[in-house]
A and B are shown apart, each in its own frame.
Chain A
Amino acid sequence: EAGVAQSPRYKIIEKRQSVAFWCNPISGHATLYWYQQILGQGPKLLIQFQNNGVVDDSQLPKDRFSAERLKGVDSTLKIQPAKLEDSAVYLCASSHPPQGITYEQYFGPGTRLTVT
């Protein structure tokens, strides 16, 4: 089966600019996650969707970050305006069962964002 797709793979922007990342999960996966991975750290969950609804966005900096999954398939994560500390790899993941705590997540290759 095809894996999780993400684009772009790399992005360089100046601070205060906006940027958007796209993710297409594995076909049939109801749950989609966005993680932020700062260099030298483990990934940190930003937001979780189940189909087209938000399950958890408690760790999303909502003053500048937004995400949507309008049709319950692909998703977009946006940052506006970007700050230097947003430089990180943004990982998208998906899993099949809606609430399966024991099921593994499948990760995309990530988008490496550099804010200058």
Chain B
Amino acid sequence: AQSVAQPEDQVNVAEGNPLTVKCTYSVSGNPYLFWYVQYPNRGLQFLLKYITGDNLVKGSYGFEAEFNKSQTSFHLKKPSALVSDSALYFCAVPWAAGNKLTFGGGTRVLVKP
């Protein structure tokens, strides 16, 4: 079964510092991987996806993610975090036909001024 895991419930970082949100995957075949962000009282917003090709994927709001096949990881990164990046981040993997998504448990990011 396709699955993703987010080992950290919360990540705290100071504004201006690099931000990393971790995700590991367990996928049979070629992995397709997604990152979504959820701001308070709002639905999930798509950030970026890995389908194939370059291991470094660039997405919305200055985020990028690095696909690492040997470590089965797809960590989300931002070089310089903003207070407005404080939100809940979810890694996800589609399974079966029809693009059903299985989500990780989520990582809460708190960026302090």
Contact = CB atoms under 8 A, between A and B. Distances in A.
Contacts of A107: 36, 43-45
B27 to A, nearest CB: 12
B41 interface: yes
A23 to B, nearest CB: 11
A69 to B, nearest CB: 14
Nearest to A89: B43
10 contacts: A33-B101, A40-B105, A41-B106, A43-B44, A43-B90, A44-B103, A91-B44, A103-B99, A104-B34, A104-B46
Interface residues of B, number: 25
A77 to B, nearest CB: 15
B1 interface: no
Contact of A101 (B43, B94, B102): B94
Interface in B29-70: 32, 34, 36, 41-46, 49, 51
Contacts, number: 70
A102 B98 contact: no
Nearest to B45: A107
A42 B90 contact: yes
Majority secondary structure of chain A interface residues (helix, strand, loop or mixed):
loop
A31 to B, nearest CB: 7
B32 A102 contact: yes
A110 B36 CA distance: 15
Contact of B99 (A40, A44, A105): A105
B32 A101 contact: yes
Contact of B46 (A43, A45, A48, A105): A105
